[in-house]
Amino acid sequence: IRHVYSIKHHHRNDGKMPGSRSVRGRHNYGKRAADKHDQCRKDTQMCRKGKAIECKIEMEKVTSPNSQCIKNKEGKFVRWGKLFRTDEMNKMTDADLTYLASTGLKTVVDFRTATEKEGGFGGMMPAAPDKLPSTVKNPYNLEINAGNIFSDEIIGSISKGLSEEETAQIMIDGYIEMISYDDYVAKYKEFFKYLQDENSLPLSYHCSAGKDRTGVATMLILSALDVDKATIMKDYLLSKEYIKGK
């Protein structure tokens, strides 16, 4: 099964504005990825002129486009090279690890549960520990099990088959919990503590699919940067296209 990978790159136009913008592609990174990444940086000049660009990162087997430049309500563009949004990081190749090390990545925040990382359910869910580049000094586990989706009850229901309505309700319940349960709100607050610490940057954050828990984290980041709701939603919905396999 081809692993789908999402990653956030960042840039700014005034030397002050922190933030994130999307580059989503399929795993793996190839030997030309760094060259393509440098070209993306150069293309930010087009963003500053208000022009939409489609920057591409060359992977080992595929080329995938990124989203257009994101700017906030004041017209400031979000920043390059500080935050990386990913899905599970257990399938990284040596080339991938070398590329991420070249970014100077220092911190990885993992929103997955212990079951997701260590495996369980009689082998139904294999162990999936992160593979991290040598530059990472700060791995943090901020477990969020919204909707209790990895409980025996939910897993049992899923294995028996759920209707579209039942599946949708599980997801709705999970999203409500992520932003309302005190424990999970505390985890996102701790996440923001790392984001605001220059000694923790560059930083990568992820869950399993890079869509729900990670998507909420990205929504919170862009909201804090005063990006409008429509743009945040457009960025969030890119996951529907780029991680169809999950």
pLDDT tens for each residue of the chain, 246 residues long: 222 223 333 333 333 333 333 333 333 333 334 444 454 445 444 444 443 333 333 323 222 333 457 889 998 888 878 899 888 899 889 999 999 999 999 999 999 999 889 987 666 778 999 999 999 999 999 999 876 666 666 766 767 777 888 888 888 988 999 999 999 999 999 999 999 999 999 999 999 888 999 999 999 999 999 999 999 999 999 888 877 766
State if pTM tops 0.85: no
Q: Are 184 and 177 in contact (CB under 8 A)?
A: yes
- The CA dihedral of 222, 227, 228, 233, to the nearest 10 degrees, is -30
Sequence letter at residue 58: E
Alpha-carbon torsion 171, 172, 176, 179, what sign? positive
First to last CA, the chain: 10
Backbone angles phi, psi at 30, to 5 degrees: -100, 180
66 within 8 A of 22, measured Cβ to Cβ: yes
Q: What angle do CA 177, 70, 39 make, to 5 degrees?
A: 125
CA angle centred on 6, ends 39 and 159, rounded to 5° = 165
